[in-house]
Structure 1
Amino acid sequence: MNYKEIAKETIGNLYRAHHSIRKSGIDEKLIALVELRVSQINGCAYCCSYHAKELSDFGFEQDIINRLPGWKHTNVFNDQQKLALSWAEAVTGGNDHWNKIKEQLKLYFSEREIVELTASITLMNTLNKLRITLAEED
């Protein structure tokens, strides 16, 4: 189903929101990293491929991209990245530790950056679900 064409205005607004997040001032590489992790959790093959290539284009080595599913068990990600990944997993999976993680976010991010990061995570979940449920298989 060509959902992007069928609901052009609605889907277009989602992509405009995505563009807005990317231009909000929060590190674009961090957003791409989080978007890849969310896409991995949701199993969106297209989005995983897209964001892995994007990270590669940003200069991430393939070895680092390959370690993302096991990010908790490696030292290749810095504390800020690990916290953002933890937040992505909490928001995506409905983790009970939201308040604890949200407090930790305040050590690395401004309130606006927390909102933009959270918007990115929730939007990526939406875009993943649209792609998985309505698009033709890749």
Structure 2
Amino acid sequence: MTPRFSPFKVAPDLIKALVGFETAIAAGGLEHSLGELVKLRASQINGCAFCIHMHAKDARSQGETEMRIIMLNAWRDSPLYTDRERAALAWTESLTKIAETGAPDADYELVKSQFSEAEIIDLTMMIGAINVWNRMQIAARGVHPVQPPVAVA
């Protein structure tokens, strides 16, 4: 894959603004581990290899288990996720696929059962931000870092 452009070089002020937006969202207090699952799931739905790589790596570095990362695409059928995580993941899918879902009341009621109104706003903004990053990286044909293969003994 050949990158098309580098948003970090071409539009540093816009990137800085988006990073600032995410910093403000993070200050809202949602669990970092939950945020990584949300960002990873939205990136899976959107097919953004750059962001999948980044958020899987970030989740691992924060102590997330390999199995929960692997099973994330099938979270509805796995007992590995808490009710709060399930509500956030359902809301993530609903908003990431908003043209298909229209953000149904059932998904809102589920998220409302686990999050305060302020947390719902933070979560919704987080989902919006990762969708912007996904679209930017897909449009730019951003290439994730590649580590050399590890030799098997």
Within 5 Å, which residues of 2 pair with 1:28-39?
A: 28-39=32-43
Q: How many residues align?
A: 138
Give unpaired runs (5+ residues) of structure 1.
none
Change (3 A) 1:137 1:52: closer
Q: CA contact under 8 A between 2:49 and 2:143: conserved in structure 1? A: no
Matching residue within 118, 124, 131 for 2:130: 124
For residue 29 of structure 2, what is the aligned residue in structure 1?
Answer: 25
1:3 aligns with 2:13: no
Q: Any conservation in 2 of the 1:91–1:121 contact (CA below 8 Å)? A: yes
- Asked if 1:105 corresponds to 2:114, the answer is no
Give the deviation of 1:96 after TM superposition: 3.7
Alignment of 1:43-122 (within 5 A): 43-94=47-98, 95-122=101-128
The share of aligned pairs that are identical, in percent, is 32
What is the alpha-carbon distance in structure 1 between the residues aligned to residue 65 and residue 83 of structure 2?
18
| CA distance 1:135–1:15, shift in 2 (3 Å) | farther
Shift of 1:18: 1.2
Deviates more, 1:94-103 or 1:118-127: 94-103
Partner of 2:140: 134
Q: TM-score when scaled to structure 2?
A: 0.85
Which structure's CA Rg is the greater one?
Answer: 2
Cα drift, residue 46 of structure 1: 1.2
Deviates more, 1:15-24 or 1:115-124: 15-24
- Tell me what 2:149 maps to: none
Q: Deviation of residue 97 (structure 1)?
A: 4.9
Structure 1 residue matching 2:80: 3-state secondary structure: coil
C-alpha distance 90-60 of structure 1, shift in aligned 2 (>3 A) = same
TM-score (ref. length: structure 1): 0.93
Evaluate the alpha carbon distance shift between residue 51 and residue 137 of structure 1 in structure 2; reply closer, same or farther with a 3 A threshold.
Answer: closer
Single out whichever of 74-83 and 18-27 deviates more from structure 2.
18-27
